[in-house]
Amino acid sequence: MINKVVANADAAIKDIKDGDTIMLGGFGLCGIPENCITAIVKKGTKNLTCISNNAGVDDFGIGLMLKSRQVKKMISSYVGENAEFERQLLSGELDVELIPQGTLATRCMAAGYGMPAIFTPAGVGTEVAEGKETRNFNGKDFLLEMAFDADFAIVKAWKGDTMGNLVFKATARNFNPVMAMAGKITIAEVEHLVEPGELNPDEIHTAGIYVHRIFEGKDYEKRIEQLTVQSVKI
């Protein structure tokens, strides 16, 4: 039986090298590959291009990689809530490409579906359209956007089996399934690693064919960015 299990995050990311392009799943701090980020910081890989919806916060998530100056370029849709990011951007140390969130997701999807490009209406008539091919379909303009080409995709799932099948939880799913499909090499860290047969085939979100390495992560902090609660239970 195919077995994609590696020992830990260090083993999973061992061949990521300086200058690589990596995708990181997550929305804000929700569903981010915490263990792999820690391992990349430890390894000290430099000049990375990171494709991720957000850039973490100062002391968590991708913010940790920014702090250790490992990121050359961020491709994101929204990068607020990060003072170190802002500092590096203003000082010119960091290159940033901001793209619409749906374009980001769909450029991942295209890569995973084996399509070179997509057409989207997002950004038509704005500075996002500058230098891009525009085509009119049925009276409406669309921008040509290219599929991403990433060396590695690093995703976080709730459960996974040793063959690489993945199940995500709630809104921690977000970009993880489409990035899992898009990487030349896809690394999945999961909260619960199980044996083949333990996951219901009908309920698998990402088929193992897309996943090259999998391991059970540890010590998940799962930090909450905006804790909002009601104080009284009626």
Q: Does 173 bind another protein (CB under 8 A)?
A: yes
> Quick one: which of 8, 38, 68, 120 contacts another protein (CB under 8 A)?
120
Contact yes or no for 65/41 (Cβ under 8 A): yes
Q: Does 125 bind another protein (CB under 8 A)?
A: yes
**Distance between CA 59 and CA 192 in Å, rounded?**
26
Please, which residues bridge with residue 152 across strands? 22, 185
Q: Which stretch binds another protein (CB under 8 A): 2-10, 42-50, 63-71, 97-105?
A: 97-105
* H or E stretch at 84: helix 83-90
Instruction: Give the 3-state secondary structure of residue 106.
Output: helix
Q: Which stretch binds another protein (CB under 8 A): 1-9, 170-178, 193-201, 209-217?
A: 170-178
Q: Does 215 bind another protein (CB under 8 A)?
A: no
- Report how far apart the first and last C-alpha atoms of the chain are (Å, whole number): 52
Q: Does 227 bind another protein (CB under 8 A)?
A: yes
Q: Does 204 bind another protein (CB under 8 A)?
A: no
- Residue 137: Cβ within 10 Å count: 9
CB of 130 to another protein, least distance (A): 11
CB of 18 to another protein, least distance (A): 26
Q: Does 159 bind another protein (CB under 8 A)?
A: no
**Distance between CA 48 and CA 65 in Å, rounded?**
9
Q: Does 148 bind another protein (CB under 8 A)?
A: no
Q: Does 124 bind another protein (CB under 8 A)?
A: yes
Q: Does 210 bind another protein (CB under 8 A)?
A: no
CB of 7 to another protein, least distance (A): 26
* H or E stretch at 23: strand 21-24
**Distance between CA 230 and CA 191 in Å, rounded?**
28
Q: Does 123 bind another protein (CB under 8 A)?
A: yes
**Distance between CA 84 and CA 112 in Å, rounded?**
32
Q: Does 207 bind another protein (CB under 8 A)?
A: no
> Quick one: which of 2, 90, 131, 219 contacts another protein (CB under 8 A)?
90
Sign of the dihedral through C-alpha 33, 35, 37, 40: negative
CB of 135 to another protein, least distance (A): 14
Q: Does 60 bind another protein (CB under 8 A)?
A: no
